[in-house]
Amino acid sequence: MEFARLIQGGMGIGVSGWRLAGAVAGCGQMGIISGLCLDEMLTRRLQLGDPGEYLRKALDNFPIRKIAKNILDKFFKEKGKSECAPFIPIAASTEEERSDILVAGSFAEMYLAKQGHNGAVGVNLLQKCQRDAIPTLFGCMLAGADFVTMGAGIPREIPGVLDRLSCNEAASIRLSVANSTSEDDYRVNFDPKRYVEAKLNRPNFFAIVSSNVLAITLAKKSNGQVNGFIIEGATAGGHNAPPRGNLPLSESGEPVYTDKDRVDLAKIKEIGLPFWLAGGYSTKGKLKDALQLGAQGIQAGTAFLLCEESGLMHELKELIIKLKCKVFTNPFASPTGFPFKEVKLADTLSEPEVFKSRPRLCNLGYLREHFRKPDGSLGLRCAAEPIKAFLSKGGRSELALKSKCLCNALFANIGLGSSYSNGYKEAPLVTAGDILPHLDFVYPGITAREVVDVLLA
């Protein structure tokens, strides 16, 4: 199968949303929606009145009418909630209700991204967010997803999940659980027959990897077909793989990457599957370099971060373009323990005083870690929750002290941040690749099509 030269990268909660993915796919390239927190994103937008009626139109096409009605009855506010009123928390829903919201939210985002063109649209997921992976994939497949990308871990079970869901069969993945024993087998289970009884298109699966060893392992030992790889370097935005070896931090406090972290592309080519190069490929001429190295093409996210169709708030885009903001690789910011790229920008969590002023709480919990309790039951903890609570669950103090609440910050990036009764409002935290300050072709109002034209030139 021949694939497009350009994959638009998956960026944060709602930044690579349906508008951006649809615009890139409409150019004949491969658009991606972010697969993170699509349940919370659906309900928050409904509570703001669903401007343009896009979500209601998508839910009109959701195949399980009762679920769509229940969601609208509970969350839709025609005039929108007041600015100071809190969002209705999904956490108060039952597990069954939450699964329904996640399937419907994933369907809606993919459905909207697929409208008005015949191009390919995929969904990007984090292996770290295992609890939500299968319902998200199923909802996207219901809407006709063409491909799936996944990184931040070793997603060996996802190809098999796609196989089973496409055949309308129950699927499960094994949870990564801290302190678990070899006898433990904690799983997330999902049965698509609860929603529909129909076969679905099986999306292509492209694993995001940062080493040839991992690519070879996934190609040989996954429980289903891997269709290609995205080879992501340490300059890419979002979460990065940690450097190999116990290296000291640089003078600026960033992880140090060496030749040990370089991917051997010759060994990648021997696998015989298409691959795209990512991390620093958001400028003109990089596609030609990638093709000469044997790649199918490139994945670019940062170049699209500041375009008109990106979900990032307009005022943040304009500031970043005006100030040519730098990017800092923070080894401690993410509760996952992975290095995380931060755009250095005033009034965001990238500033120490803004971080210190935020009350510590974990009220969304998408990046929480599962851990085994002494009695064998499962617990949940997050390094960004109150330190005392985290330590009482066996968490490490060195991880907790500098961890930031990415979930709330990423919602704030797209104008869906929470406000609280004490007057506190969640601050943003923008992520981008190291290439950000060097994007000399980006200007306020640039469209996704214009970005595509530059990258393909």
Mean pLDDT of the region 409-436? 94
Those residues with Cβ within 8 angstroms of residue 259's Cβ, 6 or more apart along the chain or in another chain:
none
Q: What is the pLDDT of residue 94?
A: 85
Q: Using H for helix, E for strand and C for coil, what is the string for the chain? A: CCCCCEEECCCHHHHCCHHHHHHHHCCCCEEEEECCCHHHHHHHHHHCCCHHHHHHHHHHCCCCHHHHHHHHHHHCCCCCCCCCCCCCCHHHCCHHHHHHHHHHHHHHHHHHHCCCCCCEEEEEEECCCHHHHHHHHHHHHHCCCCEEEEECCCCCCHHHHHHHHHCCCCEEEECCEECCCCCCCCEEEECHHHCCCCCCCCCEEEEEECCHHHHHHHHHHCCCCCCEEEEECCCCCCECCCCCCCCCCCCCCCCCCCHHHCCCHHHHHHHCCCEEEECCCCCCCHHHHHHHCCCCEEEECHHHHCCCCCCCCHHHHHHHHHHCCCEEEECCCCCCCCCEEEECCCCCCCCHHHHHHCCCCCCCCCCCEEEECCCCCEEEECCCCCHHHHHHCCCCHHHHCCCCCHHHHHHHHCCCCCECCCCCECCCCCCCCCCHHHCCCCCCCCCHHHHHHHHHC
User: Mind listing the pLDDT tens digit for each residue in 249-285?
Assistant: 999 999 999 988 999 999 999 999 999 999 999 899 9
Mean pLDDT of the region 295-320? 96
Mean pLDDT of the region 178-192? 92
User: Mind listing the pLDDT tens digit for each residue in 196-209?
Assistant: 999 999 999 999 99
In a domain, 261, yes or no: yes
Q: What is the pLDDT of residue 257?
A: 93
> Would the pLDDT of 231 be above 80?
yes
In a domain, 415, yes or no: no
Q: What is the pLDDT of residue 374?
A: 92
In a domain, 336, yes or no: no
In a domain, 324, yes or no: no
> Would the pLDDT of 13 be above 80?
yes
Residue 92's pLDDT band (boundaries 50, 70, 90)?
A: low
Q: How far apart are CA 327 and CA 430, in angstroms?
A: 9
Quick one: tokens of 289? 């370099």
Mean pLDDT of the region 341-356? 96
Mean pLDDT of the region 312-332? 96
Mean pLDDT of the region 91-107? 90
In a domain, 84, yes or no: yes
User: Mind listing the pLDDT tens digit for each residue in 39-91?
Assistant: 999 999 999 999 999 999 999 999 999 999 999 999 999 999 988 889 998 87
In a domain, 164, yes or no: yes
Mean pLDDT of the region 229-235? 94
> Would the pLDDT of 14 be above 70?
yes
> Into how many domains does the chain fold?
1
Q: How far apart are CA 386 and CA 379, in angstroms?
A: 16
In a domain, 282, yes or no: yes
Buried b (16+ CB within 10 A) or exposed e, 26-42: bbebbbbbbbbbbbbbb
- Residue recorded with tokens 């098999």: 160
> Would the pLDDT of 443 be above 90?
yes
The pTM for the full model equals: 0.95
In a domain, 424, yes or no: no
**CATH number of the domain enclosing 135:** 3.20.20
With 0-12 / 13-18 / 19 or more C-beta atoms within 10 angstroms meaning exposed / middle / buried, residue 405 is: buried
> Would the pLDDT of 152 be above 80?
no
Average model confidence (pLDDT) for the chain?
94
Residue-number span of the structural domain to which 113 is assigned: 6-313+440-456
Residue 1's pLDDT band (boundaries 50, 70, 90)?
A: low
Q: What is the pLDDT of residue 248?
A: 85
Percent of the chain at pLDDT > 70 equals: 100
Q: What is the pLDDT of residue 303?
A: 93
Mean pLDDT of the region 164-171? 97
